[in-house]
Amino acid sequence: EVQLLESGGGLAQPGGSLRLSCAASGFNFWSYGLHWVRQAPGRGLEYVASISTIEDTTYYGDSVKGRFTISRDDSKNTVYLQMGSLRAEDMGVYYCAREREPYVRGGPFHWGRGTLVTVSA
């Protein structure tokens, strides 16, 4: 069974940093693309970042480009989201998600439960 477990959420100050982790199990982690997607309070789903299996190519949503970094550690079956220069609008639930098939870039298919990020002074 595919399992994705996010952690690392919490309270951060404006301008501060936070690192989210997503520990995966139940599949060959190294062969799947992974995504971070967020939902701000009262808002819709918003694409944050992706990392592929092809030379760990990364992609970012426009609102986080230059501030967030996605990475993966295949030895730990974990994908990370390093968040910097945090703003109030970065608050929300952050979901980790996996592609449906290995080595294919499509969209999120399996989803984690999410971790809540709060940005406040």
Per DSSP, 35 falls in state: E
Least distance in Å: CB of 119 to another protein? 21
Question: Which are the contacts of 62, defined by CB distance < 8 A and separation ≥ 6?
Answer: none
Does 95 participate in binding another protein (rule CB under 8 A)?
Answer: yes
Q: Min. distance of Cβ 9 from another protein in angstroms?
A: 14
Task: Let me know: does 71 contact 82? Beta carbons within 8 Å.
Answer: yes
Q: Which of 71, 74, 77, 111 binds another protein (CB under 8 A)?
A: 111
Residue closer to another protein, measured from CB, 3 or 13: 3
- Other Cβ atoms less than 10 A from the Cβ of 54: the count is 9
**Binding flags for another protein, 40-69, as an x/- string (CB under 8 A):** ----xxxx--x--------x-xx-------
Under 8 Å between Cβ of 58 and 4: no
Cβ–Cβ under 8 Å, residues 3 and 24: yes
Measured between its terminal Cα atoms, the distance across the chain in Å is 40
Judged by CB under 8 A, the chain residues 16 through 45 that form the site for another protein are: 35, 37, 39, 44-45
Q: How far is the CB of 92 from another protein (least distance, A)?
A: 13
Q: Which residues sit at the interface with another protein, rule CB under 8 A?
A: 35, 37, 39, 44-47, 50, 59, 61-62, 95, 97, 100, 105-114
